[in-house]
A and B are shown apart, each in its own frame.
Chain A
Amino acid sequence: MPLAASSDPLNPTRSFQGLLLTLQRFWAERGCVILQPYDMEVGAGTFHPATTLRALGPRPWKAAYVQPSRRPKDGRYGENPNRLQHYYQFQVILKPSPPDLQQLYLDSLKAIGVDLALHDVRFVEDDWESPTLGAWGLGWECWCDGMEVSQFTYFQQVAGVECAPVAGELTYGLERLAMYVQGVENVYDLNFNGLEGEDRISYGDVFLQAEQEFSRHNFEHANTEVLFRHFSDAEAECKALLAAGEADTGSNDPSHKLALPAYDQCIKASHVFNLLDARGVISVTERQSYILRVRELAKACGAAWLKTAGGGAN
């Protein structure tokens, strides 16, 4: 597919949304289902059940989606040109990992306007681990002229379960990539819609106020008492759903009936923990035990998922 003319507002080098649409199209053309963001607060695209749960079990899976990601601690009240408490990840998961995954990734960079004869793209060791998800994999951070623009991971374990087969996961940091291809130094200066003059909408027009308000919320106003309660509630609800979804003993259908709703509660607990962490009310020792509690939920949800049709149980 030839690139659109540079005057096209949807050219990936002209607009944030153009970049996003180009990536979606690129991966759709390579057999991925294009999903929409998961409708819950998550810290990274990996938390989407389309990655966490679908990475488990034997069934092949190819998906790509944008995921708004919330990192309460990274809030900077809109004053830092590179750091956001809410940003977009573009997530691709291919199971099993295809043999030409590196080449596919490089082709996707070309598609969004990175000239590989001009830019230095490198795969630099970065082993990925998510203590809360009980997951790890090997791979790289992908550098473009010294800037990390993507994460590239071969999942080895998720929710404490060995991946068989292994899925390949690509995570593009969309704002960084957009800043790169648009040649912009401040994230808020990104052209969002690719138009000029009074029709131009910048990233700042869309998100600056949100960054300011949510930074206040994350660091100053989030009600920690309520959050502690939410954490316990989500944890309890997750466990209750996991128990309720188990097949009755002696039933001829051994599948789990509530793996996905249980996992939603796990996601919730994880985000609440991140908020509490940002509020600085979790001590260093407690921190470890909270992470452990979320991991226990994730593991149990993974085990439940493997007992469902999506997990390849029947």
Chain B
Amino acid sequence: MPDLLLELFSEEVPARMQRKAAEDLKKLVTDALVERGLVYEGAKAFATPRRLALTIAGLPVRGRDVREERKGPRVGAPEAAVQGFLKAAGLASLDQATIVSDPKKGDSYVAVIEKPGQETVAAIAEIVPAVIRSFPWPKSMRWGKASAESGSLRWVRPLHSILCTFGAETEDPEVVAFDVDGIKSSNITYGHRFHAPGPITVKRFEDYVASLERAKVVLDADRRKEIIATDAKNLAFAAGLELVEDEGLLEEVAGLVEWPVVLLGDFEERFLEIPGEAIRATIRANQKCFVLRDPNSGELANRFIPVSNLMASDGGLAITAGNGRVVRARLSDAAYFWQTDRGPLPDLDTLADSANKLDLNLLKPLDQRMAKLDRLGVVFHAKLGTQGERVQRIAALAKELAPIVGADPALAERAAKLAKADLPTEMVGEFPELQGLMGRKYAELQGENPSVAAAIEEHYKPLGPSDRVPTDSVSVAVALADKLDTLVGFWAIDEKPTGSKDPYALRRAALGVIRLVVENGVRLELREAVRKIVVNSRRKELYHISANFDVPYLRIGRSHEFIVVDSGDYSEGLLEFVSTQIAPEVDIHVFRIDDGKPPQSLTVPHADAAASRGFPMMADLLSFFHDRLKVMLRDQGARHDLVDAVLAGSPSPLAGEGGIASAMTDEGSRDASGEGGATPHPNPLPQGERGQVGGSDDLLLITRRVAALGRFLETEDGKSLLAGYKRAANILKAEEKKDGEGAFAAKADLQLIADAGLIEEKALAVALAQATPKAEAAVAAEDYEGAMTALAELRPAVDAFFDKVTVNDPDPALRANRLKLLNQLREATRAVADFSRIAG
């Protein structure tokens, strides 16, 4: 069967786009072929800097004929119906129709229409130009004379030629003839820009690949990568060194060459005083070269590996020398940055205010940089103020979180104050990816406590599901503070992630909080942490927004305890959020800064009223955390449905139709009105007061409960109890429909059971009476395994009950009592989780 070969030859395609473009080309062309009924045996796409290529093997010569039968009117139908049928079916007369007989309906006309399949060549000639015209490049351009007219062809860079052949192995393939904006398809390609620029005539894929290879083009990017990786490792090995592998760089470099030639260059040893990460960053980012390390010490070596696109006539000496010069110039810059960042800033006298505000020591270089960051008023986000303000918030929170994570509050505060200090350094300005790391180096050099220095680097972590989670308590405190401040801030201004858009990486931040808490075993109540952020920002005016001075501000609060909101950024949510955090006895004044008048359109929620509503974003933020937790568990292969079950269980006030959100709001308001936060270690509570206990904001507890529940459900006891629960719940559901919601909510009448019940009924009543308080007590003591064990004790009684007892007894009193018993079972499991939310 014939094969298709397609090549789109252009000026240099950006490396980062090549792989996806090849895949897109394959998908678009094959989809369009299949849509026309042209199925194929196999397809593969390739990309080099100058070409996209596609081979599709095993296509038919032409599509299948299509035979269609169209039913017409019965024989003897009125003339108008017959004419309509002939017209619709495209027949000249009734002679061309056949007559079919049906015993019931009688004879009627049928038109048989046969459409011959389209020639594959013709289909390709239609498909390929359409694909080219609508190709999904991330960015495309116009060029040349044609660009004077609107609607001219767009491509990623100027497209020069199109090769398109189709034919069987045994014959000379034909050129599929078409024309895209003046570019005529042909069987011609071109080789390496410098080694073989002339035209090459091609038949099909096999000789195409071989011809290109002779013309110094390796078509397959993966093969180019392999060549580069192998040669680089060999060169390194020969020099007694080891390649620092870098998959991202390898992929990029393979997209920059058609014929990779790997070389080895060096630079002066004195540059090795620069931190290795900075050397690697500059050589990688600016020169796209690999670096090498000493396999014994692990330290970088003064060598680098450029990958050229040329078999130079001098063996690459000039190329290596040229690359070396640029590397040296770059390293000179880096050395200058490394030097400068450790010295004093020239404009120290202007930094005193900032230093005072942040309690910085201007004798130390990194402190100076932080003061400078504050003084420059670098904006973190227009609605969330400057980096300086943000650092103050983070420092205040880190200090308060410190005891919870077991850190020294003073160290946590100090680390937070220096955490962003490397942002205005020269090195980080040049290599943003070194943020944190450089801060740590500079902190070590100025003699900071090792935990402080480590926290400066580690507070950004974890950067994703596979990144390492810091364990040093100071790092944990600052990392949590940084992420929570970001999350609360963006929630307060209502810039939450939507769909695929998450420009501030808030999902990553929330996952980071979860992993920090869970992997370090930190008992953090998120609501309380959020309250702290809010209170701190009120007290210190940290949500002060300094925008243009001629914009009227809104002031909220009393005397100088106010929060300033740029009226342009004013949002109901922010105001409400703010007002809940002001004690109820304080009147809130809102006025414009320019004329002191209250804005016309503004209604200020009174503190009491607002407090009763709580921080409306709290519920939303918590459920965001819960969602992230589910995603994390799912990615780990755990059962994320158990998260919902646990959250809806009794000790967190989340059961019932109101769901998570309403319960959270209640919690929030309680906090806000100053009655104190959730009780950290809830005592067992009587039935009626369930729903008042915290827990849904303690991510560690949730994951522990989920884990315990998961293990329990793996056991025979667990499976059986779940089955029993489902059975009880189904019966109750059915009977509650007849008798009404809550008809069986009361406790079963033990006397009645004693008098008239079966032995299994009595056994269940006894088991429930024993297991329920045990389970609740165990949950209260955070002994989830214990709670599960207590519930497991119910299993024999439950099994036996369903085995022997007819729930719907003819005696209404017995029936109701048995249903009450089942309801007690349902409630008992709730101590651990809402079993109705468990899938399966």
Measured CB to CB, the residues of A under 8 A from B are 58, 80-82, 96-99, 102, 115-125, 127, 137-140, 144-147, 154, 156, 163-166, 168, 180, 185, 283-285
Contact = CB atoms under 8 A, between A and B. Distances in A.
A82 B329 contact: yes
Contacts of B329: 81-82
Given A81-B329, A116-B194, A119-B312, A156 B142 contact: yes
B376 A284 contact: yes
Contacts of A156: 141-142
A215 B11 CA distance: 40
A285 B377 contact: yes
Interface in B416-430: none
Contacts of A138: 139-141, 156-157
Contact of A117 (B147, B148, B312): B312
A71 to B, nearest CB: 16
A284 B140 CA distance: 31
Contacts of B309: 120, 122
B244 to A, nearest CB: 18
Interface stretch (B78-86, B208-216, B317-325): B317-325
A181 to B, nearest CB: 11
- Pairs of residues from A and B, 4 with the lowest C-beta to C-beta distance, nearest first: A145-B322, A125-B14, A146-B323, A123-B12
A120 B158 contact: no
A145 B14 contact: no
Given A97-B144, A140-B12, A185 B325 contact: yes
B379 A123 contact: no
Nearest to A119: B318
Nearest to A127: B139
14 contacts: A81-B332, A96-B143, A117-B310, A117-B313, A118-B314, A119-B322, A122-B257, A138-B141, A144-B322, A146-B289, A154-B141, A163-B147, A164-B149, A285-B382
Contacts of A97: 143-144, 147, 158
Interface footprint category on B: 35 or more
Contacts of B696: none
Given A120-B309, A144-B322, A283 B376 contact: yes
Helix, strand, loop or mixed for chain A's interface?
loop
A120 B148 contact: no
Instruction: Report which residue of A118, A140, A144 has the largest number of chain B beta carbons within 10 angstroms of its beta carbon.
Output: A118
A193 B339 CA distance: 36
A144 B548 CA distance: 46
Nearest to A163: B147
B243 interface: no
B15 interface: yes
B16 A125 contact: yes
Helix, strand, loop or mixed for chain B's interface?
loop
B322 A146 contact: yes
Contact of A284 (B332, B378, B548): B378
B326 A58 contact: no
B318 A164 contact: no
B287 interface: yes
A186 B714 CA distance: 72
Contacts of A127: 139
B371 to A, nearest CB: 15
B313 A165 contact: no
Contacts of A165: 142, 144-148
Contact of A145 (B148, B321, B548): B321
Contact of B145 (A81, A96, A119, A147): A96
Given A284-B379, A285-B377, A99 B158 contact: yes
B144 A98 contact: yes
Interface in B326-356: 326-329, 332-333, 336
Nearest to A139: B157
A81 B14 CA distance: 31
B547 interface: yes
Contact of B379 (A99, A115, A185, A285): A285
A85 to B, nearest CB: 16
B372 to A, nearest CB: 10
Interface in B560-598: none
Interface string B215-257: 0000000000000000000000000000000000000000011
Contacts of B333: 82
A127 B256 CA distance: 16
Given A117-B310, A164-B150, 5 more contacts: A82-B333, A140-B12, A145-B319, A156-B142, A165-B146
Nearest to B378: A284
Given A102-B11, A285-B547, A146 B147 contact: no
Contacts of A99: 144, 158, 160
B308 interface: yes
B306 interface: yes
